[in-house]
Structure 1
């Protein structure tokens, strides 16, 4: 041991001896200068035997030993609180803050939903049409021309399909109305002769009650119709916004995303860019897989509707196709409409057959199509799908149910990428600057 170390050890022993005498004097006098108020000196030194005055036997009777300070506590009061309670309180106020922020975001989205919903629909359409635009762009089409061709072609396909559906519906309404009247009379006869054995007086009472309910709620129904008519301008505005947003997303989506990424701190740009591009790939895969599954559902149910000569076969198949964009529940509800039409038009036997077809198509979708097609694109638990659809319906109706599942899929991919410890790949056009003093 060097001379300097010996001198340092002597000063250290003298300091600890003086401090122990002060602590003993404070304990005897009952003042706050006791050992409970002294924080050990963190200066490293060679281990020395503890002085006699600091032995446990010097603890006066009746004085409680205080809990040692923890690195996560800032005062003696915090140290006296149980660790589990401190952790629970920390989680509670953080979750409360997150809940308040989420509630505020939902209120903001509710106020500007006329903008948010069209933009969300435009993103879905862009993810669906982006491969076609990319193919035309690789074929040496200008970016604007390729986008316009794809958008106009898609719009023409939608308008043509709606025209066919409306024309067939208008042509078949008189026949279906007549058969509906026959079905109502058959139901009345069954109520009289069936197990319920209702007489004419009871049937008249039920009919009168139904008419009374309709009369009492006429004002509400009328106000609902008026409110629906009042939102026609909002629907038109939303449609125009969807078209314009889809066009610019398809044409300038990459530049828009790079602009948004540049608004972030430099250290977070590559990570967010990697998560955003992965989320976009997930959204595109989800939309394309959903279109394929919906087409198979509509084709399977539509073929049997044509075979059994059910009216409105094409409109019902189109309804199944559109409803299938809402996973799990969409095709089931639209298939129920097909079963009701079959019941009114062709009787209970045909309706049971169509019901079996709908159930079979649902089983095919749930056990074959979803795992084979959708499972490769998006891995989401069915419980998350059901909860997301329910929340979407509560917040934004049918539109919320439509965008809930793709939103969950995108968030799932983004969170996984952001939470991953792997470093994103360096972009090919990145410029790495190296310091000269290395």
Structure 2
């Protein structure tokens, strides 16, 4: 039955919590107002928060034609990929890893709306934001909308991929949120704000937000927020949840799965259930091989990068937008005998240490400048949480028009045996946006 075929199911969420820091931060006076974008400099009075349980939102509708140019889209996608590669290199080295750079960038870009001064410049540098605030948020919106477009053909009886991106925000009652901040949330991120009282309901709110995340991710991400994540000092929380479910365009043969040896990064051998079958596009590079396997419809695909024995660290260090583009341009349809471990990876990344080490320091300090969110009290980011999970198996046996097959006379297939550490990513084909990135180094 088509409904039981899952193929690969990644999901992840990112959350930002902002709390009051100092009652009168010295750097909030004297920041250069010219660094703010025009739409955030209007003399409109702040919007007073409604009562708990009500929603504060801009009257603006989401912009469905943001007007981002192809060049802006390409620069944002490349920048997001380079941020992903940097975060990948410093996160849990030598361990299995899986995360969504797109989800992290989405959550941080929402709070970036209100960043000013050095807080803004540090965030832009670390997150690799290539555009001004005035152009970044419309381009983020354009990219999000482009990811929802389906151009591939789904054969009758096949299940098309499910891809969902949602944003949520919760703000403390009584705070005067800047109208321009609420406008950007509405226009470019499709989000309003729920008014809550963290001071008296922190534990209850944590449970409610965790339940919201669980519902948005089809029950796959639970307990995103720890018991210490939401406190009476929390004033604003922004959450991004991303969910993907896709079936392979050309499935693995479940009956062909056999235990085979996998050599971990430390050299030890362990048995893994090795799937066998499928076909895809292939290329060979300097010290590595790579394949791309489409999902039903061809709008999304998984790319696997298999370094040669002993060259994993070298190849991983070359990961970048330019490196991936080089792979894409050389991929060619090939008759392949792909042998891939059935695996799953679950990750929870402590992002504040990583982002701080990369140079994003002010945002987490008592002197953070987020006066574009609220003018008073001063806020700083007190928590950045990210969880993700991926499961790869034989299921997902639908055929699709986008399936690549060997052309020419019959021949013996080339074997692509993934029996050693590898890198993998899931990307949106049309935009080249990397949705998920990971490494698998040990069963």
TM-score by length of 1: 0.20
Flag the structure with larger Rg.
Answer: 1
TM-score by length of 2: 0.19
Larger RCO (CA within 8 A; separation ≥ 6): 2
